[in-house]
Structure 1
């Protein structure tokens, strides 16, 4: 105990209340409490005039406590905040029971003084415990509190103890213990990040091992395990590299999924002769080759490698043709836009020359005609989509297409073949309304962390944009892809249907 301590916490009622309050806490904290009660400088409790309205005074103290709680004062100065909160409750209880007004106002005055102390120590703690506090925030953001409740609760108690060290003016202890607290929070954050990003892949690999992957698919197992280990190591060294982590984790998940597919195929073919396996693969390649060639005529006998080379060559030709057509279409669209702009310019100049007096009337008529034309185009687009495919809304001169039929799987960001017809209709709608540009908005539900959802929604918007650019001939510069994460829900995230609706993509066609 500090030998220089000579002042005492004023008033016997303070001592009794403080002592009884701590008796319900951990026995190990009695020494700390005794120090604060016995050796802390006397509180400057400013009395409140008896003429004051006790109800208003109690409300004011409660509001001050609520503000302090929002500012997390209770984290940085737990003892003094608890005392202020107890004084507030004491005053409120006296009011409800019709107690003595002076005693009521005394409790409020004492609570204000205690809250002032809490704010003072919190200001010191925010500086001294800055690193510990940031580590705590990062762990919470990563989902550690939900995933590892017991471990998180344990380190939370240690963080509270740091605040008590600051209250006791034992800054050296707070700094030393704070280093260990930071380390524990960081470990929990890392565990949470790895669980969110690699948990599914790890479980798929474990399932494959249980199903005999060591014996039946050793190469695929080794590739999946190597990818898992590399991604795990990268996360350990770069826990803030969100986009790179997501990309690596997606690759690891793909390899783990492929491992299970290979394992299943090996088991399926386990009872089939090698000749039948080769014939089955050859039959499939022949069908693909015939489809790409656009006919079903008999072809010369080929090896499997020759079949693959033939298919790859045909695909290259198709890709080159598609790129050429996209380029030509983009050029034609740009030329048409220039022609329309030039025509409108000449028409405007002509109208201004021959009839200045009727300029406003001409513009109003043109606007009305344009409005009718836009309304007809928008109505035509609305009729294109079924209610299960999309909802179409007009927003001024823009058109919003809410793609209800484009439901991404949880945690995934890729377009499936079943979505191609719907996206083709989006491209057709763009041409009908003569959209000058587009905005693709990606949205998610609240599953997972906000950071991961933000990246996932951006990736979903990006893959839709890529499909429109690659297959619709649109210029990439004219399509803006934005991810909003879970920030703009259209349904409650408390139900499976609501979360499914929130995992959506909106396409906005800008006609102006």
Structure 2
């Protein structure tokens, strides 16, 4: 008996402890901290729904949602099963996203038609038909999700056309509804009894708006023009009817009607400060008033033209000032850039290699550090370092023309010196082209022999200075002349 009683007590105690444990309830913040996959699944579900994954992959998305519900149930009571269900839900949602990508690709044209239908407001104006179209669309995405892509492709055309028709219906409602309502109200108020001609024009414009949309659902602008005209004619018909009813209710005679009309004209033209000549025929009255108004319009147009011309002149002057300022800034920048490049070229050469001179925009490199065997024009390897520096200097000005000139002292015959100087200049030009990759069409060369000495040939130093090759970098072609 005691053993049974003890077992019973143990069972009761176990049930009590289990009940206490099951009553544990975590806050959402604690739950997400304890089971991070739950919070991640919640965020991803919200993002996926904003991307309509629930429509493009409904079954798999629904599975992920159910996993989230289970995860919440277990995690809120601090049970590790919550994390397990959340992890399952994340895997299911990843699959749903992959399905959605495939569905968007297969149903691209249908999706575009659906988007246009929603933009046209069919969801509000044709709710039942739109709901049916959405159900058909989800049926297609479910087929794709289930691997039945060929069957989904076969059903695309039907759903595409359904959305197109819905869009057209919505566009008609949106574009011409006001015109339609205005026509209905006019007929309800018996406007067609008093102003049938004007109301007939309203009906014709309304029908034209419908015809435009039937022919081209995207021609909203043209349809709107006809719809607005219809609305205007309906409103005009209403005003005509109101005026006629006013005459009838006030017992206007035919003379009273004419006097009322003349009074309205007088009010319209009162800013002209002119008495209207009602003693003349109505045709003449209208003609004279039209001429007076046109005269004022012409005077205003003339004044406006003068103001615009003055304004245009001022704007032109401002533009010219801006252009001058801009040119000045560009020139200043070019000067600064040119000075910087010149300084760089100067820094390349030692005093024994070359002298560098600036000639406006051009740069002259007077290279007297070359070594040519006596009477020869072949470039020795000892000259390569200097030639490489000259190449670097030339490349500092990419679009420049290059003039290479050879010079000798006065030792030897004039013809020999002339031929020798030209041959040496040619060898330097070929080096710039073949080794420095400078296009030959940018390079010219010329020999001057002893014709242009820089120092006297009477001294050894002078003759050494005169035996030189000069490289003129021409940035402005006009400076060559």
TM-score calculated relative to the size of structure 1: 0.52
Paired residues for 1:126-145 under 5 Å: 126-145=104-123
Kept in 2, the 8 Å contact 1:282–1:304? The answer is: no
Name the CA shift for 1:265/1:175 in 2 (closer, same or farther; >3 Å).
farther
Which of the two has higher C-alpha Rg? 2
Aligned counterpart, 1:83: 63
Cα deviation digits, residues 397-444 of structure 1 (max 9, x gap): xxxxxxxxxxxxxxxxxxxxxxxxxxxxxxxxxxxxxxxxxxxxxxxx
Cα distance in structure 2, aligned partners of 1:72 and 1:91: 23
Structure with more contact order per residue of length (Cα contacts < 8 Å, sep ≥ 6): 1
Structure 2: tracts of 5 or more residues without a match: 1-31, 325-481
The match for 1:216 among 194, 219, 222 is 194
Aligned counterpart in structure 2 of residue 315 of structure 1, from 293, 298, 307: 293
Q: Structure 1 residues 56, 333: CA separation in 2 closer, same or farther (over 3 Å shift)?
A: same
Q: Note the alpha carbon deviations across 1:315-347, whole angstroms, 9 max, x for none.
A: 22222111111001122334456678999999x
Identify which of 218, 239, 242 aligns with 1:240.
Answer: 218
Asked if residue 253 in structure 1 is aligned to residue 231 in structure 2, the reply is yes
| Counterpart contact for 2:209–2:224, Cα < 8 Å | no
Is the Cα–Cα contact under 8 Å of residues 103 and 144 in structure 2 kept in the other structure?
A: yes
Partner of residue 333, structure 2: none
The answer for the alignment partner of 1:504 in structure 2 is: none
For each residue in 1:299-330, what CA deviation from the matched residue of structure 2 results, as whole angstroms up to 9, or x when unmatched? 36223332222222222222211111100112
Name the structure 2 match of 1:332.
310
* Partner in structure 2 of residue 109 of structure 1: 87
**Runs ≥4 in structure 1, deviation > 6 angstroms?**
338-346
CA shift, 1:221, in A, is: 1.0
CA RMSD of aligned residues (A): 3.0
Contact 1:144–1:192 under 8 Å retained in 2? yes
CA contact (8 A) 1:285 1:307 kept: no
Match of 2:253 in 1: 273
User: Structure 1 residues 228, 115: CA separation in 2 closer, same or farther (over 3 Å shift)?
Assistant: same
Q: Are 1:64 and 2:44 an aligned pair? A: yes
Looking at structure 2, the residues matched to 53 and 287 of structure 1 have their Cα atoms a distance apart, in angstroms, of: 79
Distance 1:92 1:311, change over 3 A: same
CA distance in 2, matches of 1:137, 1:345: 49
Residue pair 1:288, 1:311 contacting (<8 A) in 2 also: no
Q: Among residues 295, 315, 326, which one is paired with 2:274 in the alignment?
A: 295
Aligned to 1:55: 35
Q: Is the 8 A contact 1:73 1:81 kept in 2?
A: yes
- Mapped partners of 1:133, 1:345: distance in 2: 52
CA contact (8 A) 1:204 1:260 kept: no
- What do the CA deviations read for 1:431-466 (whole angstroms, capped 9, x no partner)? xxxxxxxxxxxxxxxxxxxxxxxxxxxxxxxxxxxx
SS at the partner of 1:98? Answer: coil
> Which residue pairs with 2:185 in the alignment?
207
Decide whether aligned partners of structure 1 residues 339 and 125 sit closer, same or farther in structure 2, where only a CA change above 3 A counts: closer
Give the match for residue 97 of structure 1.
Answer: 77
Q: In 1, distance between residues paired with 2:115 and 2:318?
A: 55
Structure 1, unaligned runs of 5 or more: 1-51, 347-512
What CA distance in whole angstroms lies between the structure 2 residues aligned with 1:66 and 1:202? 42
Partner of 2:388: none
- In structure 1, the partner of 2:474 is none
Residue-pair matches, total: 292
Contact (CA 8 Å) 2:68, 2:89: kept in 1 or not? yes
Residue 269 of structure 1 deviates from its aligned partner by 2.8
